Chain A
Amino acid sequence: MVQHSRTIETAETKPKLAVWKFTSCDGCQLSLLDCEDELLQLAEQVEIANFMEASSVQLPGPYDLSLVEGSITTPEEERRIREIRAQSRVLVTIGACATSGGIQALRNFAEVDDFIAAVYAHPEYIDTLKTSTPASAHVAVDFELHGCPINKRQLLEVISAFLHRRPPQIPAHSVCIECKLRGNVCVWVAHGTPCMGPVTHAGCGAICPAYNRGCYACYGPKENPNTDSLCHWWQQELGAEKATVIENLRNFNSAAPIFDVASRRQEGGDDQD
């Protein structure tokens, strides 16, 4: 739930909003730009103090609300996230990278030096960490907005909630609930399609099942997920290969602790505990 311990400036000056990028594809920041009509409304409510994707104006901190996109993958980023935290009254991470390492967290399951040697002609120029981690592994985070990319409606909801000091309506339940609210026919039960929906955090509105595809967990693990039971049924009843199970646990949120542990357990070869 949301912490209300920090106050947002409400006097003569407008609250200062800052958007920060770490290791990421910029897609979540784009979700903010994609708000179009609401973007003007947002600009009326806040002073956009730092948002490099939209403007080269950079105002000094402190900031009332910082939106952080991207994971922490370099020593420089480790330092920078701490600085931003120190300058931010409220820090909200947005997207799979910032909340659970992103697709680049696949390095966590291998040797990053091997990748560097394979990709770069001059590996000596590369200064990177062995892991890709969410911001929450480095600093206190006030709220995590999941998704790859995030849903712009949910982003506006979170910003509105923080501006008006109320809890954001971002339920942590399964994608299945969104499917059922929408009247979708369950692709798992009715078609035998492996779907990550039952362990995945809601937020997308169950887009993939609505188009007869299985969910592939863009929003990371839901509250209280049971990955073991899901993996067991995928393999025993839906005929999924172990590799498929691991791939789905390691899509965009592989560093989410639940998915990380579950995928390592699958790799370890046993489907028990």
Chain B
Amino acid sequence: MGTFLLDARDLDALIQAIRSQGHQVVGPTLRDGAIVYDELHAAADLPHGWTDEQEKGTYRVLKRDDGAYFGYAAGPHSWKKFLQLPRRPVWQAQKSDSGVQILEIQEAVPNLAFIGVRSCELHAIAIQDRVFIGDQYANDSYAKRRANLFTVAVNCTSAASTCFCLSMDTGPQVTLPSDLAMTEVLEGDEHYFLISGGSEQGERILQQLPVQPASEHQVALGNRAIDHASEQMAEGPRNFDSSDMKALLYRNFESPAWDLVADRCLSCANCTMACPTCFCSTVEDSTDLSGEHAERWERWDSCFTGDFSYITGGSVRADTRSRYRQWMTHKLATWQDQFGSSGCVGCGRCIAWCPVGIDITEEVTRIREMEKQ
């Protein structure tokens, strides 16, 4: 145990060590003008020297003036796409002379390793765990993928302007368990990772790496880098007190703020798709032309669609006002009653990836201000 130093030039050894354990390594990579999560074969696949600039409704990648591997903030993808699959078959059925036979889906579940998991994202995975690995909404596919997951967490050393994990108490420093945790340090000509094991499996990987014990000074530099991210958020426009979210939103079901946001909201569902904790799905049942074969598929759904609340007679939430109110109130308030924590981890994805720049932190402020009027 302890903190070790891995030279940045040896980063590939980490990826290869994890791969040699039979894991499929996924992590950040540059594609289509964004830092997305996809399969990694080598350290060269990482977004080396790239960062992002984010604001309400905009995201741009740009070159850094250093060679940081993890010098970016949350991007368009979240890890949920590997754990709660966007689409998956649930069962199939075949009609025969003896009746209807249900066919089991044999799902090949990869041994996944996530590289570059941020603190907010560990919180997001923990939130989804409480949903899917419980009694009420147990999801076997998720549980199987989650069971063998290996995580390499990376502390954030710079924040995007859309980040507000500080307000949600979910970062930037990694506090939840991971197999390995790293901090990237770029200081003068030096470029290294402070790395420590958080599990037996993590320690085993660590032993295979060309590492040496880190000095107190090096550890302090790492902490200073994380503090830098905290300071950016503390001084940023999205720092707010989230301690009263439940009471605030429970008092404001009828706030005129909902009408204002509904004027702008496209009910396109981008926020919920980008959100790392939004877990809603629907099932689609279909048959083939002969009617002999039927399938049920699960797919991501969103509280912003009409179908989501469709029951006999129509949609319960027919208008955008009620849909946005449902989403935000669930995320920040009713989630607490349902699962014992907020549903928001402050990653800012819903802010950047909203096409019309609706900002959940601004909406909190608006509701608060309109309540005073």
A residues bordering B, Cβ < 8 Å?
Answer: 1, 38, 41-42, 44-45, 156-157, 159-161, 163-164, 166, 169, 171-174, 176-177, 180-186, 188-192, 195, 197-199, 212, 223-226, 228-230, 232-233, 237
Contact = CB atoms under 8 A, between A and B. Distances in A.
A180 B87 CA distance: 11
Contact of A172 (B287, B307, B355): B307
A88 B224 CA distance: 74
B352 A189 contact: yes
B266 A198 contact: yes
B59 interface: yes
Question: Most chain-A Cβ atoms within 10 A of its Cβ — which of B264, B268, B355?
Answer: B268
Contact of A169 (B32, B76, B284): B284
B305 to A, nearest CB: 4
A177 B268 CA distance: 7
Of residues B58, B319, B320, which shows the largest number of chain A Cβ atoms within 10 Å of its Cβ?
B58
Interface string B53-80: 0000111110000000000000011000
B33 A159 contact: no
A164 B287 contact: yes
Contacts of B357: 233, 237
Q: Give the 9 A-B residue pairs with the shortest CB-CB distance, closest first.
A: A180-B273, A198-B268, A198-B266, A185-B32, A185-B34, A174-B268, A176-B268, A173-B305, A181-B86
Contact of A229 (B263, B284, B291, B299): B263
Given A157-B286, A164-B291, A226-B265, A233 B307 contact: no
A229 B77 CA distance: 25
A188 B34 CA distance: 12
Contact of A177 (B76, B265, B269): B269
8 contacts: A45-B290, A177-B305, A183-B36, A185-B32, A186-B353, A198-B356, A225-B266, A228-B263
Contact of A233 (B87, B263, B274, B355): B355
Contacts of A41: 288-290
Given A174-B266, A229-B265, A190 B33 contact: yes
B327 interface: no
Contact of A156 (B289, B300, B318, B353): B289
Interface residues of B, number: 49
A35 B368 CA distance: 56
Interface of B: 31-34, 36, 57-61, 76-77, 81, 86-87, 263-270, 273-274, 284-291, 299-300, 302, 304-307, 310, 318-320, 352-353, 355-357
Given A169-B286, A224-B319, A233 B305 contact: no
Given A164-B291, A198-B268, A229-B265, A189 B353 contact: yes
Contact of B302 (A156, A173, A226, A230): A173
A189 B355 contact: yes
Contact of B320 (A161, A180, A226): A226
For B57, B87, B270, B307, the residue with the greatest tally of chain A CB atoms inside 10 Å of its CB is B270
Contact of A188 (B36, B290, B355): B355
Nearest to B37: A183
A34 to B, nearest CB: 15
A181 B87 contact: yes
Nearest to A224: B267
Given A173-B307, A180-B86, A229-B266, A190 B32 contact: yes
B286 A233 contact: no
Nearest to B268: A198
Given A42-B289, A177-B273, A185 B267 contact: no
A223 B310 CA distance: 12
Contacts of B32: 184-185, 190, 212
A160 B287 contact: yes
Contacts of B81: 183
B3 to A, nearest CB: 35
Given A186-B353, A198-B356, 7 more contacts: A160-B286, A161-B287, A171-B307, A173-B304, A184-B32, A198-B355, A232-B356
Contact of A189 (B36, B58, B302, B304): B58
Nearest to A230: B266
Contacts of B86: 180-183
A233 B56 CA distance: 12
Nearest to B38: A183
